[in-house]
Amino acid sequence: MKAYLYDNLPGDQRLPHLTSSLLSPSDLEALGVLYFQIPTVAGVDALAAERGYRNRDEITVSPDAMGAVYEDKVKSFFAEHLHEDEEIRYVRGGRGYFDVRDKGDQWVRIALEKDDLIILPAGIYHRFTTDETNFIQAMRLFKDEPKWTPLNRSEDLDTNQHRKEYVSEFLG
């Protein structure tokens, strides 16, 4: 895992957009983002039991797996949004980026690869993209029934209960 401020320069979203402003796992934790490097599924099972994740599935995001809808899907994942549940992803193969907003509303890019697990809190604005290899396989974990409902950023979301709780706890 490597985390850094996103350069905001034009160009393909799948490029690193690397800056010299590196962040540590504790910097991410201050934003409510938890990072783990877990080399085995048994380790993921233990974390899932500890945190109450009862369901999971796997997704492969690639042109081969998704066919003609790949480009549109990657663009939709990159739209800034939040979820009303934690988002938990365990990378089983390939690489990708999760971008989250910091306290100054700047993008922080989190580069993930095999055996990286990330937990984004409910209410955090974020987006996702593959890297230039166009391949990532990830396990998605859920506390309840699998649900992935993105709420795209808008002023209306300022009053969303999950957004308000996130802002109060981590940005206040």
Bind-site residues for Ni(2+)? 81, 83, 87, 126
User: Do 137 and 93 touch, CB atoms closer than 8 A?
Assistant: yes
Binding site as annotated, residues for Fe(2+): 81, 83, 87, 126
- In sequence order, the β-bridge partners of residue 152 are 81
Binding site as annotated, residues: 81, 83, 87, 126
Burial class of residue 43 (count of CB atoms within 10 Å of its CB; 0-12, 13-18, 19+):
middle
Q: How far apart are the first and last CA of the chain?
A: 27
Tokens of 62: 């690639």
- d(CA 170, CA 172) in angstroms, rounded, equals 6
Residues 6+ positions from 89 with CB-CB distance below 8 Å? 98, 112, 117, 118, 138, 139, 140, 141
